[in-house]
């Protein structure tokens, strides 16, 4: 059992390798040293305060405590506590009863301390290996030491306790933190010494924890800062790594234990086993006639008769020898002077080995800390607790000395935890309760974006009402959903053919296209070019805007080698226009990011014609002006004749559909159908959905180019979702819940969250770290916790958008079903827009909502792959054909 320094250095190196193995994602499952993340991320900083309950279960004594942590600044902790017994029939009985017992003790304590009816947060010190995924949860991996209650392994002990506490109706506690005793010890000591970053227990069991760099912890996302790791070093050697140093006594002891083959390192070290090792050695020596004249007593044969306190007493300086005689006599032996000296010697060897082994493992941890910090010398403090360490007269000295010898480049202060782990557990609970309070604030904000089924039905009903107002002559002028007739009355029949130009203005990209339609084959060939429209042109004068458009057309014709060609043109113009025919469209008002002057109230086709005239280079036959929703419906309708709705969920939000002529009071005639551009983005402009608009929606509206207008669009489309997110983030930051309370210049910048960023952030495939990187790219310096919150905010905002959009669509399909007097409606919706296309969840939630709100409609969603340019060209072709027929 004597271990040379060389052996100890070797063991230290083995333990270093074990730690590495336990930390690795792939190696952890087979590692014996489990290196459990604790979700404790920082040592106390003195700002902790409040009143907490604490349970301390798993050491030699079970305690219930009340811990009062002082007001900020004054580092002052007051504790009141009560010990409760832990009889074997409880700790080795039925798990449910164990936790009921614990709950009973807690209730008793609260009763005597007058704490009933007070809602207090509780920190549970639970000194067994638990796998945690958060602070307030821990799955017991296995019992160790003296505990072996049935049915607890592999379950969450916090829920076990919570369940047991439910029986006490008059107590109300909230378990916010589960901590190992090593963690509690480290935190207790760190409250007094901020250098403390290791906690060691040498008591009934043995174990250590320390602060590890997040970047080294594979099992937890994030790489910023540190997290405390509960090493569970007691299990070192369970895979055979220490067989060379284990003795026959260690093996014998293990076989007689509650957990054979487990905790082999612990069994060479800790208080529960030390006395027993001594007994086994003495028994062997007596049997061999080397002690007590070969006499053995029945007590010496009895397991557990020599305890750690005996070992400690026998090794005491001065009284030790007398103590030894007394103890041996009590065991029914008649020791000689020489026997007593020999027995003392055995004790020393066993307890020294224990200290040596602890020192080797601790030296490995200290080296790891030093290397993590890239220091030549490490100055640190180790928090210590446990009865063996506390009551054994030589133990601390020996341990300290060996550690200093093994790691000469570490200046270690050993700090005894005077008040046990409960104080530290209260610190952890204090931080957790602050986090919980903040969480509540965040949830309160997010709750504003959660719509109930009832609210969604309300939106659907109001939308339905607005659609009807918009169609009726008397109410049309007051309706917020304008229901604009488009003069598109039929679908292409496949006979269209020819070459057409198309413009596509108003979405993310401005395009000029050449579309070649081949008759009969329902196939088109397209060539297109994207042009930028600078902000100063979007918001300059109308003349500049249309001159720019014509310039782009000229470039395109040039590029295609079509200079001078006189082609029919279809103009996709994605803004609300009042039409009197297919080739006339008066702009009602700009939406989205456009605000060129002198356009509103003007015919956009005329403006385009005039710009072409101004340029005087080519002539074009502008045959049709169409909204992008209409273009999209046509694009999809060319392939699926059942497609009678066009939906855009992109920069803006809008929908068109085929309506019965008899319902359209603004247009003469009752025969057939006509496409209606609903311009539903304006829904709510009369305040009818103000009950679900939040302060953030209002802020976005106020900061927009068209305040008070397009309220529904501003809650549902790509151009605004990022802005809503930004407003929420600003508010959360103001409340100190994000970005360390600092509102950066970037966060003040309008438009930073484009749809593509929202989509990336919300992607399920993205690890938190990547989210953080995106935020960093956007210039937002966020922690991992911030990233989680940002992702949640994005999720809440986009989810609401998809649901609102779904409620609107449900109103339309239901109307179509009822108008046609159908039991079930089958209909296809052609969809386009970056939000729908790029966002990972938008389309799914939209579809789910429609299904729920319009259960009697089978809606097929067809993504428009080719954009609305194709549809515009088809409309142009149809119009051209009809024009020709009319002339003839
Ligand atoms: C106590 C701590 O002081 O020490 C407990 O409060 C811990 O949390 C115990 O488990 C460890 O020592 P022992 O000797 O009681 O197992
Ligand atoms: C494009 C269409 O595919 O989608 C445009 O061709 C339409 O006409 C646009 O305006 C809508 O989406 P976004 O996201 O670009 O506004
Ligand atoms: C055992 C437990 C461990 C605890 C230690 C000290 O090793 O498994 O969780 O920290 O005892 O009590
Ligand atoms: C805006 C426009 C509308 C367009 C929609 C989608 O809502 O007003 O005409 O269809 O954006 O681009």
**Ligand 2 geometric centre to CA of 791 (Å):** 26
Q: What is the pLDDT of residue 826?
A: 97
**Residue 379 catalytic?**
no
**Ligand 2 geometric centre to CA of 746 (Å):** 28
Pocket of ligand 3 (CB under 6 A): 58-59, 127-129, 144-145, 180-182, 201, 203-207, 232, 234, 266
Average pLDDT over residues 146-175: 95
Instruction: Choose among 419, 439, 427: nearest CA to 177.
Output: 427
Average pLDDT over residues 851-867: 97
CA–CA distance, 62 with 78 (Å, rounded to integer): 19
Flag whether pLDDT at 750 surpasses 70.
Answer: yes
Q: How confident is the model at residue 334 (pLDDT cuts 50, 70, 90)?
A: very high
Average pLDDT, the chain: 95
Q: How confident is the model at residue 382 (pLDDT cuts 50, 70, 90)?
A: very high
Question: Rounded to 5 degrees, what are φ and ψ at 537?
Answer: -85, -40
Q: What angle do CA 634, 638, 640 make, to 5 degrees?
A: 105
For residue range 95-133, what is the model confidence (pLDDT) as tens digits?
Answer: 999 999 999 999 999 999 999 888 899 999 999 999 999
Q: Which residue minimizes the CA distance to atom 9 of ligand 4?
A: 575
Q: What is the pLDDT of residue 506?
A: 96
352 CB contacts (<8 Å, ≥6 apart)?
2, 398
Ligand 4 atom with minimal separation from the 682 CA:
7
Q: What is the pLDDT of residue 886?
A: 80
Q: How confident is the model at residue 73 (pLDDT cuts 50, 70, 90)?
A: low
Q: Which long-range contacts (CB under 8 A, 24 or more apart) does 581-590 make?
A: 581/487, 582/486, 582/487, 582/488, 582/623, 582/624, 582/625, 582/875, 582/879, 583/622, 583/623, 583/624, 583/625, 583/879, 584/625, 585/625, 588/482, 588/679, 589/706, 589/709, 590/705, 590/706
Q: Which ligand has the nearest atom to the CA of 36? A: 3
Q: Which ligand has the nearest atom to the CA of 651? A: 2
Q: Which residue minimizes the CA distance to atom 1 of ligand 3?
A: 205
For residue range 867-884, what is the model confidence (pLDDT) as tens digits?
Answer: 999 999 999 998 888 888
Pocket of ligand 1 (CB under 6 A): 56, 58-61, 125, 127, 181, 184, 201, 203-204, 271, 385-387, 420-421
Q: Which residue minimizes the CA distance to atom 4 of ligand 4?
A: 574
Tokens 């509690």 — which residue?
184
CA–CA distance, 111 with 109 (Å, rounded to integer): 5
Q: Of 591, 632, 830, 868, which is best to mutate to test ligand 4, by the most ligand atoms within 8 angstroms of its C-beta? A: 591
Q: What is the pLDDT of residue 774?
A: 87
Tokens 């030093």 — which residue?
370
% of the chain beyond a pLDDT of 70 = 99
**Residue 558 catalytic?**
no
Average pLDDT over residues 502-518: 95
CA–CA distance, 274 with 271 (Å, rounded to integer): 5
Q: How confident is the model at residue 521 (pLDDT cuts 50, 70, 90)?
A: low
Q: Which residue minimizes the CA distance to atom 9 of ligand 3?
A: 128
Q: Which residue minimizes the CA distance to atom 2 of ligand 3?
A: 128
Tokens 């669009």 — which residue?
713
% of the chain beyond a pLDDT of 90 = 86
Flag whether pLDDT at 150 surpasses 80.
Answer: yes
Q: Please, what sign has the CA dihedral across residues 443, 447, 449, 452?
A: positive
Q: What is the pLDDT of residue 772?
A: 87
Flag whether pLDDT at 769 surpasses 90.
Answer: no
Cβ 650 under 6 angstroms from ligand 4: yes
Q: How confident is the model at residue 843 (pLDDT cuts 50, 70, 90)?
A: very high
Q: What is the pLDDT of residue 494?
A: 77
Flag whether pLDDT at 72 surpasses 80.
Answer: no
Average pLDDT over residues 654-681: 96
Q: What is the pLDDT of residue 365?
A: 98
Average pLDDT over residues 808-835: 97
For residue range 478-504, what is the model confidence (pLDDT) as tens digits?
Answer: 999 999 999 999 877 778 889 999 999
Q: What is the pLDDT of residue 830?
A: 98
The pTM of this model reads 0.79
**Residue 826 catalytic?**
no
β-pairing, 584-587 with 523-531? Answer: unpaired
CA–CA distance, 296 with 875 (Å, rounded to integer): 108
Q: How confident is the model at residue 667 (pLDDT cuts 50, 70, 90)?
A: very high
Q: Of 57, 67, 179, 201, which is best to mutate to test ligand 1, by the most ligand atoms within 8 angstroms of its C-beta? A: 201
Q: Which of 353, 464, 511, 772 is catalytic?
A: 511
Q: How confident is the model at residue 564 (pLDDT cuts 50, 70, 90)?
A: confident
Flag whether pLDDT at 549 surpasses 70.
Answer: yes
Q: End-to-end alpha-carbon separation of the chain, Å?
A: 113
**Ligand 2 geometric centre to CA of 263 (Å):** 64
Q: How confident is the model at residue 436 (pLDDT cuts 50, 70, 90)?
A: confident
Ligand 4 atom with minimal separation from the 652 CA:
11
Sheet strands (E) in 606-733: 621-626, 643-649, 653-660, 673-677
State whether residue 67 is helix, strand or coil.
Answer: strand
């Amino acid at each position: 059992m004597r271990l040379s320094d060389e052996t100890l250095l070797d063991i230290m190196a083995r333990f270093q390798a074990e730690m590495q193995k336990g930390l690795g994602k792939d190696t952890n499952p087979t590692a014996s040293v489990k290196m459990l993340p604790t979700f404790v991320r920082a040592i106390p900083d003195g700002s902790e305060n409040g009143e907490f309950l604490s349970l301390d279960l798993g050491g030699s004594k079970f305690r219930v405590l009340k811990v009062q942590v002082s007001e900020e600044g004054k580092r002052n902790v007051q504790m009141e506590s009560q010990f409760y017994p832990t009889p074997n029939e409880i700790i080795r009985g039925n798990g449910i009863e164990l936790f009921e017992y614990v709950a009973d003790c807690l209730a008793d304590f609260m009763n005597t301390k007058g704490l009933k009816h007070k809602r207090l947060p509780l920190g549970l010190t639970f000194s067994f290996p638990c796998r945690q995924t958060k602070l307030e949860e821990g799955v017991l991996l296995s019992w160790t030491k003296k505990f072996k209650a049935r049915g607890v392994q592999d379950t969450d002990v916090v829920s076990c306790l919570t369940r047991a506490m439910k029986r006490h109706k008059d107590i109300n506690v909230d378990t916010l933190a589960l901590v190992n005793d090593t963690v509690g010890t480290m935190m207790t000591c760190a409250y007094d010494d901020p250098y403390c970053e290791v906690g060691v227990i040498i008591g009934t069991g043995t174990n250590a924890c320390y602060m590890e760099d997040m970047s080294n912890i594979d099992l937890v996302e994030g790489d910023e800062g540190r997290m405390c790791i509960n090493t569970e070093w007691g299990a070192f050697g369970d895979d055979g790594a220490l067989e060379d140093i284990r003795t026959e006594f260690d093996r014998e002891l293990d076989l007689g234990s509650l957990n054979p083959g487990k905790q082999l390192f612990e069994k060479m070290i800790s208080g529960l086993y030390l006395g027993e090792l001594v007994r086994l050695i003495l028994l062997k020596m007596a049997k061999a006639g080397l002690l007590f004249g070969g006499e053995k007593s029945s007590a010496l044969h009895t397991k557990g008769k020599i305890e750690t306190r005996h070992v400690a007493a026998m090794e005491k300086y001065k009284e030790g020898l007398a103590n030894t005689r007394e103890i041996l006599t009590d065991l029914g032996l008649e020791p000689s002077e020489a026997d007593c000296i020999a027995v003392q010697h055995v004790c020393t060897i066993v307890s020294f080995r224990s200290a040596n082994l602890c020192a080797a493992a601790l030296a490995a941890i200290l080296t790891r800390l030093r290397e993590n910090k890239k220091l030549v010398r490490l100055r640190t403090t180790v928090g210590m607790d446990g009865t063996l360490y506390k009551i054994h007269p030589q133990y601390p000295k020996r341990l300290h000395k060996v550690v200093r010898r093994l790691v000469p480049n570490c200046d270690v202060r050993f700090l005894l935890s005077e008040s046990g782990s409960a104080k530290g557990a209260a610190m952890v609970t204090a931080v957790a309760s602050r986090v919980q309070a903040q969480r509540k604030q965040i949830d309160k904000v997010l709750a504003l974006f959660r719509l109930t089924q009832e609210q969604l039905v309300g939106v659907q009903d109001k939308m339905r009402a607005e659609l009807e107002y918009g169609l009726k002559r008397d109410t049309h002028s007051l309706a917020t959903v304008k229901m604009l007739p488009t003069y598109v009355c039929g679908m292409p029949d496949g006979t269209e053919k020819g070459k057409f130009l198309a413009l596509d203005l108003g979405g993310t990209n401005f395009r000029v296209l050449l579309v070649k339609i081949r008759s009969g084959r329902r196939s088109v060939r397209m060539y297109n070019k994207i042009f930028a429209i600078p902000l100063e042109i979007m918001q300059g004068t109308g003349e500049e805007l249309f001159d720019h458009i014509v310039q782009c057309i000229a470039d395109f014709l040039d590029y295609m080698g079509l200079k001078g060609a006189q082609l029919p043109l279809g103009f996709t113009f994605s803004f609300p226009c009042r039409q009197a025919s297919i080739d006339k469209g008066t702009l009602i008002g700009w939406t989205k990011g456009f605000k060129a002057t002198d356009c509103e109230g003007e015919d956009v086709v005329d403006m385009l014609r005039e710009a072409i005239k101004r340029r005087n280079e080519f002539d074009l036959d502008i045959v049709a002006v169409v909204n992008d929703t209409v273009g999209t419906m046509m694009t999809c309708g060319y392939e699926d004749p059942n497609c009678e709705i066009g939906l855009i969920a992109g920069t803006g939000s809008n929908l068109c559909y085929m309506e019965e002529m008899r319902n359209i009071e603004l247009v003469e005639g009752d025969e057939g159908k006509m496409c209606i551009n609903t311009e539903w983005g304006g829904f709510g402009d009369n305040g009818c959905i103000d009950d679900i608009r939040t302060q953030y929606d209002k802020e976005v509206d106020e900061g927009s180019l068209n305040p008070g207008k397009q309220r529904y669009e501003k809650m549902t489309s790509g151009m605004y979702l990022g802005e809503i997110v930004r407003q929420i983030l600003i508010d959360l930051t103001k409340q100190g819940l994000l970005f360390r309370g600092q509102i950066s210049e970037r966060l003040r910048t309008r438009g930073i969250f484009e749809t593509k960023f929202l989509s990336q952030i919300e992607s399920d495939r993205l690890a938190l770290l990547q989210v953080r990187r995106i935020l960093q790219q956007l210039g937002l310096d966020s922690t991992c916790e911030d990233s989680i919150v940002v992702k949640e905010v994005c999720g809440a905002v986009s989810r609401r958008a998809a649901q609102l959009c779904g409620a609107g669509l449900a109103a339309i399909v239901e109307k179509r079903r009822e108008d046609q007097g159908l039991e079930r409606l089958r209909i296809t919706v052609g969809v386009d827009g970056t939000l729908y296309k790029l966002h990972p969840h938008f389309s799914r939630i939209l579809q789910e909502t429609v299904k729920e709100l319009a259960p009697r409609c089978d809606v097929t969603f067809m993504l428009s792959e080719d954009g609305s340019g194709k549809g515009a060209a088809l409309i142009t072709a149809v119009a051209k054909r009809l024009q020709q027929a009319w002339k003839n």
